[in-house]
Amino acid sequence: MNPSASAPLLTLRRIAKNYGGVRALRGVDFDLAAGEVHALLGENGAGKSTLIKVATGAHRPDAGEITVAGRTLDGLTPTLAQQLGIACIYQQPALFPDLTVAENIGLRLEHGGAARRIDWPARRARATDLLARVGATIAPDTEVGELSMPEQQLVEIACAVGAGARIVIMDEPTASLTQREQARLFTVVRELRTAGVGVIYISHRLEEIFALADRVTVLRDGASVGTHPVAAMDEAGLIKLMVGREVAQLYPPAESPPGDVVLSLQNVGCSAAGVRAVSLEVRAGEIFGLAGLVGAGRTELARVLFGLTPATAGEIKLNGRPIAIGSPQQAIELGIAYVPEDRRRHGVILEMPVAQNMTMAVHRRLFPTSWLRSGAEQSLALEYVRDLAVKCSSCDAPGGSLSGGNQQKVSLARWLATKPRVLILDEPTQGVDVGAKSEIHRIIRRLAKDGLAVLMISSDLPEVLGMSDRIGVMRAGTLAAVLPGGSDAHTVMAMALGQEGDKGAA
């Protein structure tokens, strides 16, 4: 693809945007050609989201010029952007949880008044076709509220494909997808490019940029630091452009061997969660990674261990002693902590101050007489702000004012405050930039070094391979294999897909 061979579908010139005294964009230039995948990179807070909101009409720039297919616009609104063929797939799906998948897709793509007659068979058939095109095996009559985050993202992608958009913006579309689903998405993106669609692709996973993109524009501190052909760049060069410095090793190695078994599962199951006959051990100082396809049972197992859907079969032991986990409160008292996958829904309360977010799980210990002591709360929060290097204006800053990486640190601090013996991490670096990812990896490795038993769930296969001392592969609700650290991607995926091979017993 030669981007200069055709007139741009979208041109942004000298775009500036201020929020109060904060300069979010400082005269940014960006253009997108037909049949091009143009990657947009930068750390959280670099201005990517603001630029996308300008391009979709959600925010009006303070200065600059927007041209779509040769038409210079005086004012771009979300409605006009949709009419011009601009579709955006956001990292957090904007779907109606109480409606079915077919109803959500129909609301996005069908036209007419509220009193129109709905052709239900045609609506379901269209939804089924679009879901198949993006590689999603989801029944159209399923309520969206029953879907996982990755499945909701696939529904969003299906909506954009069905809209026949000329400009498609993808904001971290693979954040929760497995390797197999990512491969299908890449096929969809390439098909869009072949059809002449322009794709703006935002991702913190640099391997995706090299696999898909023709050009890359890097933002830093609200300004563009360059647009380059992807073929002319390497990973180290992109990272340096993004962060303005060299980044330390992304996957720090273990510094000491694991200790005694802390958490032991023997044939653990929960019929309601779809978890069956899981047997594994996690040792003190060990990072045990859980890999597998979406729906394989990884998050469901975490919920069982945290008492959200208690086990109905098998035996769980903590430090050799059989335990029963009937609720999250019991899990916390036993020393089990769980940092969930969706930090915006279950990890950080965006309107609540950092200090209150961090101390929420230890109120009984912090306030034993039920009298709130703001000094104790502030002191504990400040300890974790310093320890985890949380970047915030103060402990009173709302959680929503922080970048994704810092929100994840706040969520982690909440559960570290409980002084756990077992730490369950579900997608610990989902949607965070490469600098924050490196920091979080160092924190996880340090926690393991201090003796924590860490069970890490991740759809990012390089992360599982790079961080895990041992790797458990889930399939169809059970543990299909336990592989040693250092196993290759092919072996892990073969186990996840149910292909024959030596399962090993690390």
Q: Which domains does the chain have, with CATH numbers?
A: 261-497 (3.40.50.300)
As a whole number of angstroms, the distance between CA 421 and CA 448 comes to 10
Closest CA to 381 of 403, 356, 348, 398: 356
pLDDT reported for residue 505:
45
pLDDT reported for residue 406:
84
Sign of the alpha-carbon torsion through 21, 410, 464, 295: negative
pLDDT reported for residue 135:
77
- Pair 430, 403: CB distance under 8 Å: no
Q: Spell out the alpha helix ranges (H) of 110-178.
A: 120-133, 149-162
pLDDT reported for residue 503:
47
Q: For residue 117, give both structure tokens.
A: 């007659």
- Phi, then psi, of 480 in degrees rounded to 5: -80, -25
Closest CA to 498 of 471, 468, 478: 478
- Pair 196, 6: CB distance under 8 Å: no
The label of the residue with tokens 């023997």 reads 266
Whole-model pTM: value is 0.63
Count of other CB atoms within 10 angstroms of residue 105: 26
pLDDT reported for residue 330:
95
The label of the residue with tokens 């096929």 reads 187
As a whole number of angstroms, the distance between CA 330 and CA 348 comes to 21
The label of the residue with tokens 């400009």 reads 167
Q: Spell out the alpha helix ranges (H) of 134-221.
A: 149-162, 179-194, 206-212
Ramachandran category for residue 70: left, alpha or beta (phi over 0 → left; psi -120 to 50 → alpha): left
As a whole number of angstroms, the distance between CA 466 and CA 438 comes to 12
pLDDT reported for residue 351:
84
Closest CA to 358 of 422, 402, 307, 300: 402
Sign of the alpha-carbon torsion through 173, 178, 181, 187: positive
CA distances from 43 to 177, 391, 432, 503 (A): 21, 13, 8, 39
Whole-angstrom Cα Rg for the chain? 23
The label of the residue with tokens 């779509």 reads 68
Angle between helix 374-387 and helix 404-416 axes, rounded to 10 deg: 120
- Phi, then psi, of 235 in degrees rounded to 5: -60, -45
Q: Name the percent of the chain in helix, strand, coil, to the closest 5.
A: 35, 25, 35
pLDDT reported for residue 502:
46
As a whole number of angstroms, the distance between CA 213 and CA 38 comes to 6
Instruction: Give tens-digit pLDDT for 433-449.
Output: 777 788 889 999 999 99
Q: Using 70 as the pLDDT threshold, list the residues of the chain that sit under it.
A: 1-6, 112-115, 175-178, 245-249, 343-347, 363-364, 366-373, 499-506
As a whole number of angstroms, the distance between CA 468 and CA 470 comes to 5
pLDDT reported for residue 379:
87
